[in-house]
Structures are given as C-alpha cells and as structure tokens.
Structure 1
C-alpha cells in the first residue's frame, strides 16, 4: 500500500480492527445462510504527509450504487443542512443567477432548501435509490459518480458553480487526487467549495474508532485536508468546527486565483492540531488503547445485564454501529435486536453480527430494560425520541466516547 495523497510507502499502523464486512451491506433473511465476505480494517498513518487512511479494498461502486443511508431520516441533520443553506445564501450572495452543485447529494436533504430559496441547483448522487428519492422531492439530481470527465461535461452543460458542496463524501473516495481535481473543475474561478468531514482530531483524542469503516478511505485533520485540496489548486480560506458526527469541520476553500489569506480560525485550528500532537506521528499512537478500553467496558456492561436477566436492545443501525458491533463481537445473545427509522433496513440483519433490525415501534411493545443507542453522535435527538422508555424504568445508554447513560 502507498499513500493515496503523496505516494509514500512509509505507512504506520495506528489501529487494527480486525476483518469485518462492509458496514452498509445489510443482509436479507435469504442471505443468512450465504457466505459473507470480510475485509481487513486497519487504519494507517502516512509518516510523510500525515494522512490517515485505510487500504481501498472495496470500490465506491460496491457501496454506493444502491445505498442504505438516507440523510433525511435524521431530523438533526436536515436542520443542520437548512442552517447551512441560510448561512451560505447570506455569506455568498446566492440568488437566481448563481448555481449550487452538491456532490453526493443523497436524498435531497440539503438541496431541498436551495430549491425552496429559488436558487438553481444540481445534485450529483451515485446511488440509484436515494437519488430517486431526491428527484421525488423536486431536487434536480443526476445519478453518477463524480470524476474529472463528468465534472467537465457538467460544467459545459450547466456552467461553473458559485458554490460546490461536498458534505461527508471527501473521505469516501479512493481516487483522492482525481476527485479533488473534479471539485476544482466544477467551481467557478471566483467560486467556493464547502467540505464537511469528521475531524480526525476528535477521532484520535476521543477514541471514536467506530467512524473507521471500509467506505471511509481517509480521515482528515485540517492540515491533511489542506494538503489534499492544494493538489488541485484549491486553498483553504476558512474553517468552522461543528458538533455533527461527533465533531466535524466545515472547510471553505477557493481556487488559488481568488483565495485570500487564511482566516484566524484556520490558523487557530492548525495550532490546536499541532498542540494535540497531530502534526507528528506520536500524537496518533494512543488510539488503539482507547478503542480497547471502550470494547472492554461495553462488553462488561452487556455481560452484567445478561447475568442480571435484563433485556437489551439497540437503537439505530448506522455504519459506525456495525464497526462497533463487529469489533466488540456483540451478537444477538447480548443485543437482542436493534431498530431503525429507515424502512430499507427494517427486516434485514446487521452485517457480520446478524442482529435483526426492526421497526422502532417494537421498543414500546417489548419494553426492554436497556436501549443501547448506536448512533451516539445524535445523542440529544435520540434522547428526546426515546424519553418515553422511562415510563417503565428503561435505561438509555450511549457507548462512546465512554459508556454513559442519557442525561436526565
């Protein structure tokens, strides 16, 4: 394996999570007796450019041609997108004469707000099923994987974009250099690119190992993201720290020809990363120990629940949850089932651990003693949704950053 950013062969093992199936390959009942392929899940750090990455053992086509994740099933995420659109309209002066393009636009969760504002827009979404949901919502969407050729033809047909949005996709692309060039080809010379990614500083500092899975090929600090964007002539000019996904960053970049000096927020965050040790290999070496601590604590809790005769079920079936379940070896003897609001997942089984996924209404029917929330990054939203379990004395638990109950 060579670094996909700088081609160095100096890759240092940081976290080995064993071998797991792809996190979004939910099984149907007919597939339970079939072989299930697994792939190593081993996080490495390039000692030269400091990009965190895993080998590209699956392709985006394997994962995203039909995809199980619909952004709009999270109320928090839809509201996050609405606020972003409102802010971007004010910040950039977006109107009926501008164009917004979102890459990996999913089911139209964000661009629906652009449409409502009367601003021309286009979604580029590779998944047939979620792209169809976006079009049904009235969001213009093409079903394609973005590459340099598609970027050139899109720009020729629609014109260059004032704003290109790439939320939670920059980690999903094994051809990092080619994808970055495609982003540059979509944006006007005086335009803007907005990218949201989970911040590797939180991954490392808080032991958020479950954000590592096969469709996430790389994991960014601001430093490594800026280095990647620079390969296509895009310069980071501003950054925002966000609470989403356990701690993310929103990077604002512009073509070199239009870029001003980086804002004070860029300089401050780079300094914070350096102080955390992330501009050197030594700052990453404790991650494996944090992951092991989470696994041991969670397994002790679930085993104690079983010994006490308590019923434990899950809430949510996110990709991160499948990394957690597989790494910890949790199966239906410890987690009877999980539930999910997404009808696509209901009636299926989690990859690897094969835990049934049911309708959320099953919790009220069964009145379990404990509910383990797998999308822990949505703690406020889930705490409110499941407040009713206190009626029978049920306890809501979150596994990360350390195992803890929901706030009263």
Structure 2
C-alpha cells in the first residue's frame, strides 16, 4: 500500500503487523485439505493525514462475497438487534406505509424481514448469491449486486429514492470507499436518511480487538475518519450512537449535505473522546502491537498448559474474527481438536490456514470437554447463556479478548 484510499496521502504509519493469513471466510472442504492455500499480508496502517486506518486491498470483494459463509440469522442477539433498530428507525425517520427502505449488504434478510413485517416497501442489495437467495426465500426482495454510483443510480431509477438507506457492517468491507459512498447518496432521497453501523476503532484499540482485523475489513473508522468518508460522497454526519455490538460500534446517521444541518452534541462528544485517546496522532497507536502480542502469548500458554495437564479444550464458533486469532497464534488441531458452529454451511469444513474441523454444536455435550474456547467473544452474554449446559460436568468457558478470561458458568 502506497497511498491512503480516502485522501490519497502517502504518509501511512504501521499500527500492527499480523503476518500473512488466508482470507478469513475461505473455509475448506475435506477434499481441499491437500491443496495449497493463498495467504495475504495482514498489516494495519493508519493515514497520518486523514487518520483512516486501513489494510492493503489485496483481495477483492468479488473474491469474498459472491459465495459467502456468514448468515446473520444464526445469531439470536443479532436478529433482535435488527428488530430494535427497525422499530427505532421507523419512529426517528417517520417511516409510514408509503416509505421505501433499502439495505445494502442485506445478507439473509435478517433486518429487512422486520421492515416487511411492518408492511413497508423495501429492497435488499446483497452481492452474495447464496445468502441473497436465502433472503428471497424468506420473503425479502433482494437484488444480487455490489453497490457503486452506477448501481445505486440504477436502483433509484427503477424503484425510486429511498427514505432510509441502511448500511450495517459493510462500510469496512469495501475498498472503494468513495465510490460506495457515492452509491449511498445515489440511493437516498434528497431529504432522506442514511444509517451506517461499523466497528469503532476506538474500542478496537482500547480492548485489544485485533481479531476483527481481516482481509474483508479494508478500513477501520473513528467518527472523525467516517465523517470525512461520508463527505466524499456528498453525505454529512448529523448524529452518532455508541453501540455494544461487535465489541463496540458506532451508528452514524447522515443526510445529503444540502439538508443536513448542524450535528448533534453527541458527535462532538465522541470526537472529543477520540482526540483524548490520541487517535488523531500517532501516540494513540504505538502500544497496540505490544498488547496484541500479549493476547497471543497468554492464549498459547493456556492451551499448552491445558494440554500438558491432559485437559481438553474445544472451540465454539467459526467466525471470521476467530480465523485471524487462530492463524496469528498458530493454533492447530493438536491444541484445539475442533470447533463447532450453529451454521450448517460450515459443518464438515475446516478453518482456513489452521485446518481445524468444524462440527455441529451437539458435539460439545457429547464430548464434555474441560474448556470451551469462545471465538465470537462479542456475543459473550448470549453465548454464556447458550453454553450454560457445560456446567453439568464442570466445564468452563474461555474468552481470549480483550484479555484471557476463564468463566465458570451457572446452570
């Protein structure tokens, strides 16, 4: 990477170098285990002019999202998060029976199904063929397409301008941030609203959430850098909410620049927090790499010592972030013989790079391991409840982020 993809600056400073890993959602079938796997550098840098944190665009969205392994509806808490958002947004924006809602990267319809239930016209724009098909089967109108200025204008011409455009957990996934933002502006009505949810770089740094750095995530936002990114497409940030999702996210409310008006006090408050944390100067990034190294050492020490004691450790979940962690730590089946996942798409497959088998969740109760390493740590409250049955044999849960934590669950 030689230049910032937002402002074009050549002054990019290293934040953390995680080596080279395969793309995090490139799960392997059994007949692929003897094949070579491509691995790409995973090196996070920050632009010292506009302060957008970013990795090089070494893979394309087409490589990743045409066939995708992540289905949002398998997370109970995520579906509930979407339901609450739709209810709140309907009130905030004033979505009546004649409104039109578009969601970009709508996945399997986990969010828009709540819009459909309200009788509001909607459309999902989802590039992944397989998850888009699941959305249509669930009754959510879905277009298989990537968003850019041209496709956004085409959707507007065919369906009309959207009163609300939703872009949840996609703003990090596109290397052409300017073109994507122009696509959002093309979709939204001239007096409409855009809602963007994306992980907050502030909590990523503060809570050692380095496993959310992977090749699908091309950039990592503060409110300051997101404001600049939105402006590149003619949108103005008017409000921000701090959310607990994904370990700490920001919900950005933006409008076309011509109607935006002054931002709320909450925008200024979060900008002040980011500035106090040093995220608009290099001082806020210098210690992160050392703290990442400690997470790795602590997890490896735990797994090695458990193995030497003859104790069993298995995984729960096969999320993209888990594959960053497993590859960075060099964890193989000798330390983690398998992980499980609720998504049947992943059953019988193997994690990229580390080649750990992925089994159905029922395997945990059958094997009664001493420890369950929880890879989707961002769903901690949900999974502590789901995995309470490990108490039956004295099993415990292990969370690796933000620091190693061993939890005794209650029945």
Under TM normalisation by the shorter chain, which class is it?
over 0.9
Report how far residue 406 of structure 1 moved.
3.0
Alignment check: 8 A CA contact 2:397 2:408 kept: no
Inter-partner Cα distance in structure 2 for 1:405 and 1:83:
31
Inter-partner Cα distance in structure 1 for 2:282 and 2:174:
24
Q: Give 1:379-394 correspondences, 5 Å limit.
A: 379-394=380-395
Report how far residue 260 of structure 1 moved.
1.8
Q: Pick closer, same or farther for the CA change 1:407–1:48 going to 2, 3 Å.
A: farther
Name the counterpart of 2:154.
153
- Paired residue secondary structure (2:270): helix
Name the counterpart of 2:175.
174
Name the counterpart of 1:44.
45
- Paired residue secondary structure (2:58): coil
After TM superposition, the score normalised by the length of structure 1 is 0.99
Inter-partner Cα distance in structure 1 for 2:407 and 2:320:
21
Q: Pick closer, same or farther for the CA change 1:45–1:323 going to 2, 3 Å.
A: same
Report how far residue 285 of structure 1 moved.
1.3
Q: Deviations over 1:221-252 (max 9, x none)?
A: 00000001011111100000000000000000
Are 1:242 and 2:249 matched, yes or no? no
Report how far residue 105 of structure 1 moved.
0.1
After TM superposition, the score normalised by the length of structure 2 is 0.99
Name the counterpart of 2:190.
189
Name the counterpart of 2:113.
112
Q: Give 1:358-369 correspondences, 5 Å limit.
A: 358-369=359-370
- Paired residue secondary structure (1:293): helix
- Paired residue secondary structure (1:332): coil
Inter-partner Cα distance in structure 2 for 1:258 and 1:140:
29
- Paired residue secondary structure (1:238): strand
Report how far residue 95 of structure 1 moved.
1.6
Inter-partner Cα distance in structure 2 for 1:28 and 1:296:
30
Are 1:284 and 2:271 matched, yes or no? no
For the aligned residue pairs, the C-alpha RMSD in angstroms reads: 0.7
Alignment check: 8 A CA contact 2:396 2:408 kept: no
Inter-partner Cα distance in structure 2 for 1:95 and 1:340:
39
Inter-partner Cα distance in structure 2 for 1:266 and 1:369:
46
Report how far residue 157 of structure 1 moved.
0.6
Q: Which runs of 4+ in 1 moved over 6 A?
A: none
Q: Give 1:23-172 correspondences, 5 Å limit.
A: 23-172=24-173
- Paired residue secondary structure (1:239): strand
Are 1:222 and 2:227 matched, yes or no? no
Name the counterpart of 1:345.
346
- Paired residue secondary structure (1:362): helix
Name the counterpart of 2:202.
201
Inter-partner Cα distance in structure 2 for 1:102 and 1:292:
38
Alignment check: 8 A CA contact 2:237 2:254 kept: yes
Report how far residue 407 of structure 1 moved.
6.1
List runs of 5+ in structure 2 lacking aligned partners. Answer: none
Name the counterpart of 1:324.
325
Alignment check: 8 A CA contact 1:50 1:281 kept: no
List runs of 5+ in structure 1 lacking aligned partners. Answer: none
Name the counterpart of 2:273.
272
- Paired residue secondary structure (1:121): strand
Name the counterpart of 2:263.
262
Inter-partner Cα distance in structure 2 for 1:406 and 1:254:
44
Name the counterpart of 1:401.
402
- Paired residue secondary structure (1:274): helix
- Paired residue secondary structure (2:17): strand
Report how far residue 290 of structure 1 moved.
1.0
Inter-partner Cα distance in structure 2 for 1:276 and 1:116:
42
Inter-partner Cα distance in structure 2 for 1:275 and 1:303:
39
Inter-partner Cα distance in structure 1 for 2:281 and 2:258:
31
Alignment check: 8 A CA contact 1:111 1:123 kept: yes
Q: Deviations over 1:54-87 (max 9, x none)?
A: 0000000000000000000000000000000000
